[in-house]
Structure 1
Amino acid sequence: MKEQLTLLEPQLKSVFKYLHENPEISWKERRTTDYIKGILEQEGYEVHTFADSTGLYVEIGEGRPVVGLRTDIDALWQEVDGEFQAHHSCGHDAHMTMVIGVLLLLKRLKRTWRGTIRVLFQPAEEKGQGALSFVDRGLVDDMDYLFGVHVRPVQELSDGTFCPALYHGASRLLCGQINGVESHAARPHLGKNAIEIGASLIEALKTIHIDTMIPFSVKVTKFQAGGESGNIIPAKAYFTIDVRAQTNEGIEQLHDGIERTIRAIESLYEVSIDLQEQVRVAAAEVDDEAKDIIEQAIIESVGEEYLRPPVITPGGEDFHFYTVKRANVKAAMLGLGCGLTPGLHHPKMTFNKDQLIVGVEILARTVLGAFAQAEKEALSC
């Protein structure tokens, strides 16, 4: 396997270079989809695309078990060197490169297995919507296993170390509008100041508590009110609340608390406050069997000394919607330690690209290990 990986390395470096230099935001990954489709069709794979969406998938083999491998394909929209642009600062260019590498490697290994490999190139992870769209298409309904990968910052994994599961937290992004009453600043008693109402809301949100054993946070991350004139009591204010909890149960409790808090502020000031959910991401539901398969793949690829325990991280990943929506799927996500600094979503994020080829090997061994595990279970029945 390692000999074939060495031969593939120059091609994968070229793939990464293209993907990194041509980022596209959620639901607009058209060139990315076409580029991946072209590579895989050139390798002889039958590629399935969608008339109404970006993204694609590939199937190899037939029958059960069905072993899935998923990568996200979208980029962030952020300010880089003073200019807003699409930018791969979350590592999706690396994830795509590794998953493409697995497909290229499996073809060259010419190994056989009993069952189906289904590889998902999923759009719109950053919007928290892409996984749900693939669930709606039925792409995981018959899956037995599903594996993913994510590069990790040095605060979680040092360069050249790997973990068999990532316990991401749940998150929600809520957008709201305060509907007060405008008046002259000299007559504030005739108005209902949206800024004052917002200040009360921000303070009230700090009183929301859940089980202290569950890490959580609730904070206002955007607040806009007022116009050009400073002598007008503003009626409208717009805000965003970022909500996070390490468990799916915790995030539900926080959401309920936010709803109660907003209703209380409405009653106190006799105004209306509109609230809408913009983004929802589920917390990880990791399967122990899937985790053990990745762990064995790490040991076989780099040795036990480079294996690290599963990482608990406050970040979010829509990968976990697959298991929340389809509990029959045994899923886990490989954590790739690659010297990533200064952090995910930072405009200057960088990492050791040499670890991508290691990631390809671990993921390939993971997929093959899942088939071996399924065959072992079948023989024991």
Structure 2
Amino acid sequence: MSDFIKSIEAELITWRRLFHQYPELGFMEYITTYRLGKELEKLGFTIHLGEEALDHDARLGIPNEADLNEHELLAKAEGVEASWLAKMSGGLTGLVATWDTGRPGDHVAFRFDIDALPITETKDTNHIPAKEGFLSTTEQTMHACGHDGHMTIGLGVATFIATHQSSLKGKFTLLFQPAEEGGRGAKAMTEKGWLDDVDYFYSGHIGIQSLPIGTVAATTEGFLASSKLNVTFTGVSSHAGMHPELGRNALLAAAVTATNLYAIPRHSDGITRINVGKMVAGSGRNIIPSDAYLEIETRGETRQVNDYMLAEATRIIKASADMYDVSYEITPVGITEEMVCSETLIPKITKACQSSDYVKEVLPIAKVSGSEDASFMMNRVQQHGGKATYMLFGTELKYPHHHPSFDFQENVLAVALDTFIKIIEGGSQNE
């Protein structure tokens, strides 16, 4: 199907650059969801939006009401139809697109994440988006992880299914998932039941490792279970010079928490990680700080190891609050699970890609780190007897993910798309 790839390559670049210019944070991807949905509608997919796509109560880390309202107004100003906004209102972003060929066959699902990051993109002229004129138009928001490419690949997959549906069989479900960053969105789609009768599930990532264009990893190993927490300490303000003894210092409780979290003993059963990514406290140099705020994450090689890290972190937070006689509140805002790819998909993917003009090498496995909330989807598929994998698509990485200068080689889009097309055509479909 190299002719199909050639016919769509220019459109892939156009889509990617449009998405890159209009990044949106998790559960606020109103414009992104709308643009994806309108393209999918034109192709003939059945679109599931809002509470049809997500379990309202299974979402974590939902933005505050003021931010949601502001972004809904921006979406309206950008031309998002009122009927779409009504379904997405309150942060019910993302969508599921389904296609049933009407012919017996496997149910194959693909997941593409759509959210951006709270990062201000560099304007350095050596940065390709700056050089080519498609920088983020939103201050402090950037596609710095490749999700603009992922949803572009998703539209490419959808276009292939729609234009070649007469030669395909079975059912296809495409999940355009919100709020991947922080492990917040996949569980909400999973709990809606979309993965319960899926035979084969595929997701993946551009980059992560710097690999040559044309290199594809059929499976990955090393993603960690994780927990994301917001912590607030509440004390009592007082004059720092006249009556310091009347104050209850929330800043010190936060600072002691931050330093002692890094002292949690490692676990003999697996890899552990912990990070304090943000601390905000105090209001002025002569005021005992009454409020402090921390954003924390724990990670573990298994759910049990992560549970250990979470329990230790909770103990330290409580002890720090007790030490300075302040109150505390812990709000869970994200979670991911450990995940293990189905090894039986390695030969299937390898064989499927042998006829590709774009895939040059298929690695059986790639070592990774970090965490992925696609774990919920993969685990649900496997629990119900299906097979699932998380792949990598090689590109040169001059800067790491989540960096203001992050970018990828755009010809990786064609490689990833052709990989999924070959899987659809053969591979898992013909077991």
Do the two structures share a fold, i.e. TM-score over 0.5? yes
- The letter for the 2-side match of 1:216 is T
Query: The residue matched to 2:401 in structure 1 has which SS?
Result: coil
The aligned counterpart of 1:31 is 31
Partner of 1:104: 159
Q: What is the alpha-carbon root mean square deviation over aligned residues?
A: 2.7
Distance 1:217 1:180 in 2: 29
Residue 25 of structure 1 aligns with an amino acid whose one-letter code is L
Taking structure 1 as reference, are residues 304 and 136 closer, same or farther at Cα in structure 2, changes over 3 Å only?
A: closer
Using the size of structure 2 for normalisation, the TM-score is: 0.77
The amino acid of 1:21's aligned partner reads Q
Amino acid at match of 2:198: M
What is the deviation of 1:213? 5.8
SS at match of 1:87: coil
- Change over 3 Å in CA distance of 1:321–1:23 after alignment to 2: same
**What is the alpha-carbon distance in structure 2 between the residues aligned to residue 23 and residue 199 of structure 1?**
33
Whether 2:282 is the aligned partner of 1:226: answer yes
Greater alpha carbon shift after TM alignment, 212-221 vs 335-344: 212-221
Indicate the SS of the match to 1:364.
helix
Would you say how many aligned residue pairs link Structure 1 and Structure 2? 371
Give, in whole Å, the separation in 1 of the partners of 2:193 and 2:202: 17
Match of 1:61 in 2: 101
Q: Could you tell me how far apart the structure 1 residues matched to 2:299 and 2:335 are?
A: 10
Q: Which one is further off, 4-13 or 322-331?
A: 322-331
1-side partners of 2:307 and 2:239: how far apart? 41
Distance of 1:333 and 1:111 partners within structure 2: 28
- Tell me the CA shift for residue 304 of structure 1: 8.8
Residue in 2 that maps onto 1:246? 301
Secondary structure, in 3 states, of the residue corresponding to 1:307?
Answer: strand
Alignment match of 1:209 (pick from 265, 271, 293): 265
Q: Secondary structure at the match of 1:80?
A: coil
Offset of residue 7 of structure 1: 2.1
Q: How does 1:84-103 map to 2 (within 5 A)?
A: 84-103=139-158
Tell me, yes or no, if the aligned pair for 2:45 and 2:97 is still in contact at 8 Å.
no
Distance in 2 between residues matched to 1:72 and 1:311, nearest whole Å? 20
Partner of 1:311: 366
Deviates more, 1:138-147 or 1:2-11: 2-11
- 1:284-295 mapped onto 2 (5 Å cutoff): 284-295=339-350
Q: What is the Cα deviation at residue 263 of structure 1?
A: 2.9
The alignment's TM-score, normalised by the length of structure 1, stands at 0.86
Tell me, yes or no, if the aligned pair for 1:74 and 1:123 is still in contact at 8 Å: yes
2:404 is aligned, of 334, 337, 347, to: 347
Contact 2:253 2:323 in 1 (8 A): no
- Cα distance in 2 for partners of 1:120, 1:27 equals 15
- Unmatched segments (≥5 aa) in structure 1: 374-381
Contact 1:178/1:198 (<8 A) preserved: yes
Shift of 1:343: 1.5
Cα drift, residue 359 of structure 1: 1.0
Q: Confirm whether residue 297 of structure 1 aligns to residue 352 of structure 2.
A: yes
| Contact 2:106 2:170 (8 Å CA) reproduced | yes
1:362 to 395, 415, 419: 419
1:151 aligns with 2:191: no
1:261, CA displacement in angstroms?
Answer: 2.0
Answer whether contact 2:249 2:326 (CA < 8 A) is retained.
Answer: no
Q: Which runs of 5+ in 2 are unaligned?
A: 51-86, 124-137
C-alpha separation between the residues in 1 aligned to 2:402 and 2:165?
A: 38
Q: Offset of 1:252 from its aligned partner? A: 1.4
Secondary structure, counterpart of 1:121 in structure 2: strand
**Alignment correspondent of 1:171:** 226
Q: Tell me how far apart the structure 2 counterparts of residues 271 and 10 of structure 1 sit (CA, whole Å).
A: 58
Aligned partner letter, 1:194: A
Contact 1:102–1:364, Cα closer than 8 Å, also in 2: yes
Question: Is 1:72 aligned to 2:113, yes or no?
Answer: yes
SS at match of 2:356: helix
- Conservation of the 8 A alpha-carbon contact between 1:125 and 1:318: yes
| Kept after mapping to 1: 8 A contact 2:240/2:288 | yes
Matched-pair identity in %: 29
Q: Deviations over 1:46-86 (max 9, x none)?
A: 43334343323122324553111111122223222487243
Kindly tell me: are residues 182 and 7 of structure 1, through their superposed partners in 2, closer, same or farther at Cα, counting changes over 3 Å? closer
CA contact (8 A) 1:161 1:337 kept: yes
Q: 1:170, CA displacement in angstroms?
A: 2.6
1:136 is displaced (CA, Å) by: 2.6
CA distance in 2, matches of 1:348, 1:304: 27
| 1:26–1:126 CA contact under 8 A, matched in 2 | yes
